[in-house]
A and B are shown apart, each in its own frame.
Chain A
Amino acid sequence: MKKLVSRRTILRGAVAGGAVGMGLPLLDCFLNENGTALAQGGGPIPVRFGTWFWGCGMNPARWAPPTEGLGYELSVELQALDRTLDSGGKLRDHVSVFSGFDVKLDGNPNYPHGSGPASNLTGLFAPADGVFGAPSIDVLIAREIGGFTRFRSLQMSATGNRNHTYSRESATIRNASEISPMEVYARIFGPDFADPAAGEFVPNPRWTLRQSVLSAVKEDRDKLMSRVGTHDQQRLDQYFTSVRQLEQMLDVLLSGPPDLPSCRRADDPGPDILESEVFQNDLESVNQRHGALADLLTFALACDQTRVFNMIFSAGISELTVPGLNTTHHQLTHDESIDAELGYQPQATQFVLASMEAWAGFVERIASVPEGDGTMLDNCLVFANSDLSLAKPHDVRGLPTMIAGSAGGRITPGIHVKGNTDPCTRVGLTVQQAMGLPIDAWGANSLRTSLPVSEILV
């Protein structure tokens, strides 16, 4: 953490042409070189971090791979990973699986569908239902590596609900999700996108004028800060951090098209079906939305528009359904009998399988982009997680997580690790260390750990 502030100052001066400096919150000044250190051939290749969430967990005995280590045997609920990638090799060999890592409650309330993600993504117990005790892991990482790109991070949800997000700046400040492929396209690949294929780059004169608007807003800062209490000063800090992020976006736009060989403008997904009159959470519609969002995200990553993302396939209280079913995935996990012969809930389980198919498809998309000597997946770390293990009793022991990608060579992929009731925070600590965060330990109480999953760390 040495010389951080000065480096930031130099960078701002270089990029923004000596724009007026503002008091930067310390976390915002964190810069490391991990994101751009891995120069291969011509330009530097960024390393990206993302989360991928599905709701209502799995059936532990059917989901956990029967064997450990590299080349693990695929379990029945992870058959979706049995795919051959276009770039060669098995998808399974790019995905590590973590079974038997527990959310430890230490007697704290188990808020149904809430305590799991809160603990898994912050290392702390949920202080109240729906509330996180600290910023979520993606925000911690975005503060480290998100500062150079057009978007600090992108949040998306295939559920049609913008409030479905596990990304938190603080206990009460949430990063809302994009839900509409059409709107995501407009935001990333609309008129502001500098298409590398478009010939000579001509900056839009409006970008400079927009910067002058933001400068005026910053002039309001000091006076307002002096009029409010410390609670509001923190909130205004967040506001002005967001103003700076938009300035950053304009700086990036003014600097011209991205310099990455695989970058091109995504296809327009066309109008979407969110506004239609009837229920839209049947698997086919959700898969379609998730696919469209994942495509846009993949193109955005290939163009280095962001280095941090969060994707939600289904929410904790999963509303997935299929035609003819008058109930939902979540409701089934509670109402459906456990089939005595099978030992699981057959109807609810079809949504576990569908979720794993969607996850496999998501990773496969990222792996379809050539980058450096391999694929973009080699330069990503995607952390898949759910809210529960077995949903029927809201069990948070053995919370299922996975990691796809090699994080630019920092992760050995394709390993199954059994947690044997160790805290789930071991995986979260590993993720942060792989992304270059300078921490030795993470979490509190029984969730505190200083033991990363060394099997996968290079």
Chain B
Amino acid sequence: MAASLFAVVAGCAVAVGCGGGDTSTSRDAPATEGGPVALRRLTSQQYTQSIHDVLGEDIVVPSRLEPDARLEGLLGVGASFVSVTPSGFEKYEAAATAIAEQALGSELRGAILSCEPSSASGADDSCASEFIATIGRRLFRRTLAEDEISMRVAIAASSATELGDFYAGLELALTSLLVSPNFLFRVEEVEPDPADESRLRLTSTSVATRLSYLIWNSTPDDELLDAAENGELLNPGNLTAQASRLLDSPKAEAGIRAFFSDLLTFRRIDEGLVRKSPTEFPAFTLTLAGDAKEQTLRTIVDHLVTNELDFRDLYTTRSTFLTPSLGSVYAVPFRGEWGPYEFAEDGPRAGLLSHVSLMAITAHPGRSSATLRGKFVREILLCQTIPDPPANVDFSIVENTDGELRTARERLGEHVTNDACAGCHQLMDPIGLAFENFDAIGAYRTQENGVDIDASGNLDGQSYNDAIGMGQALRDHESLGPCMTSNLYRYAVGRSPVSGEQALLAFLDDRFAASGYRWGSLIGALVLSDGFLTASGQREAEEAAQ
């Protein structure tokens, strides 16, 4: 992905003021003041990924930590508003204990402990100190202060003496790192920009953490921390080099998967919450749901990263990946393990919205939901707002159905013949009806209750006959690109845009479009932008989302 990142660097480097002629054809990035920074609690994925990166892939991280909260459509935004509740802290402490036990157990400690204690049955302050400083730096994403190390050396020493075991003592010191707010929350700090003291920029180490969790969904490595603590990330050239290095790493796949999992609400599948009526849909097991998520993520990674294709074509592409059990839901023969697959040119499927994952997520346990599907497209893919339902609706019209309404279109007709309902439902239901050929698990059908399904409709002026046409209309929709830019931006900075950032978002979308909607270009432009690198200050309490 680095090639496409570099393609934008010349323009962006000028934009952030490192001099030289403007060789790019696009306009400069508008000077912007980023919105406020806040503590960002690690998501459960980030927690696990960070533990694996620092202490080893073999560590079994307990599941069911404090749940993440979705706010404004993203767990990544919710992370700037959540805290740790009493039961949550209990779980973090239990997890930390279990992790420390494994990490310093006889099997795994060799990989992370660089010194030998003078005695395995007692304290060794110098070896403990070395361990705490080294591992602590990766966990806190900065070099620890002397007192932060010394108080943990003291815990290790007294515990080792009490338990008669150097490693058991060190476990408690490691536990104290893992339950610290300095690990559980990413701390973002600002400082005056020396070039213009009236402006605030993120500190170099804060930039490193933002960058690392955006691209890897994990903690910075030592090389990035070295660069950060030398102040190098305040220089656009060095920042570009580090961003490119991170994007080229195999760890970048975890980053893009994390973003799309968050945006597409795949956490619901991870938590076993996307379930279907077993009598109606016996094929839809938790394993199948997991495969369906994997199919969509593989498709996205292959399309955006491996092949560096136009992002918008995700909604029309017939290229995907299957397993035999998915093949049976799609009614196509597929053998063996995971492998690439092309949906037939004349078949009913193209694009992510014809995948089992998204069709199942946006359906009820027993039947499809045009309303939920329409809401998903409007809110998540086009960033449009569905108005709140009114306080008082005369439901007498929808209260009595005669039981003869056999298709979703007929049933939902009730919504749009009632003025109070129509306002919102006309935004959602017609789009969702385009997907009525896909049932509650995304299997194809041509009829519902013996009546032919009519999947035709119109998306903001572009007519279509079926889901394929709908995918094309979505692909061509003027809000699709800007919405993705906005979603990635919100995910990167952990908040919704503030006033003053709209011009920057328009600029980023321009760059995205100018590159032919290449993912690397969007990331490259984003991480070099003022929105990523500056802030108005620390978030104050009254600004907290209600």
Contact = CB atoms under 8 A, between A and B. Distances in A.
Contact of B88 (A106, A176, A224, A319): A176
4 cross-chain pairs, A with B, having the tightest CB-CB distances, nearest first: A229-B538, A393-B395, A109-B388, A242-B89
B395 A277 contact: no
B278 A217 contact: no
A337 B400 CA distance: 6
A351 to B, nearest CB: 14
Given A224-B181, A331-B364, A335-B401, A216 B278 contact: no
B87 interface: yes
Nearest to B175: A213
Interface residues of B, number: 82
A260 interface: no
Given A328-B365, A331-B367, A162 B67 contact: yes
A234 interface: yes
25 contacts: A108-B391, A110-B391, A111-B389, A131-B545, A163-B67, A217-B176, A217-B180, A220-B180, A228-B38, A230-B540, A235-B81, A235-B82, A236-B181, A239-B89, A246-B89, A275-B272, A279-B276, A323-B279, A324-B279, A325-B279, A325-B366, A327-B366, A328-B365, A331-B367, A392-B398
Contacts of B275: 278-281
A331 B366 contact: yes
Contacts of A276: 286
Interface in A202-258: 205, 209-210, 212-214, 216-217, 219-220, 223-224, 227-236, 238-239, 241-243, 245-246, 249
Interface stretch (A15-23, A76-84, A166-174, A379-387): A166-174
Interface string B232-252: 000000000000000000000
B399 A235 contact: no
A337 to B, nearest CB: 5
Given A110-B392, A224-B181, A327-B364, A277 B285 contact: yes
Contacts of B539: 229, 231-232
B300 interface: no
A128 interface: yes
Interface in B350-402: 364-367, 388-393, 395, 398-402
A219 B399 contact: no
A295 interface: no
A151 B545 CA distance: 29
Interface of B: 36, 38-39, 64, 66-67, 69, 71, 78, 81-90, 93, 97, 145, 147-148, 151-152, 155, 158-159, 162-163, 172, 175-176, 179-182, 184-185, 187, 189, 271-273, 275-280, 282, 285-287, 364-367, 388-393, 395, 398-403, 411, 537-541, 543-546
A229 B272 contact: no
A231 B84 contact: no
Contacts of B175: 213
A129 interface: yes
B151 to A, nearest CB: 5
A236 B539 CA distance: 13
B69 A172 contact: yes
Nearest to A104: B391
A133 B545 CA distance: 11
Nearest to B403: A337
B272 to A, nearest CB: 7
Interface of A: 105-112, 127-129, 131, 133, 151-155, 160-163, 169, 171-176, 178, 180, 183, 187, 205, 209-210, 212-214, 216-217, 219-220, 223-224, 227-236, 238-239, 241-243, 245-246, 249, 274-281, 319, 321, 323-328, 331, 335, 337-338, 392-395
Contact of B87 (A175, A213, A325): A175
Nearest to A167: B85
B172 A246 contact: no
Most chain B CB inside 10 Å of its own CB: which residue of A131, A209, A280, A328: A209
Contacts of A337: 400-403
Given A228-B38, A277-B287, 18 more contacts: A110-B393, A151-B86, A171-B544, A172-B82, A172-B544, A173-B81, A174-B69, A176-B66, A213-B93, A231-B538, A245-B89, A249-B90, A277-B285, A278-B275, A323-B279, A338-B400, A393-B398, A394-B393
A65 B87 CA distance: 38
A162 B63 CA distance: 12
Given A277-B286, A324-B279, A172 B71 contact: yes
Contact of A105 (B155, B180, B367, B391): B391
Given A278-B285, A326-B279, A392-B395, A238 B546 contact: no
Contacts of B158: 212
A321 to B, nearest CB: 7
Given A111-B388, A331-B367, A171 B181 contact: no
A314 to B, nearest CB: 13
Contacts of B541: 229-231, 233-234
A212 B172 contact: yes
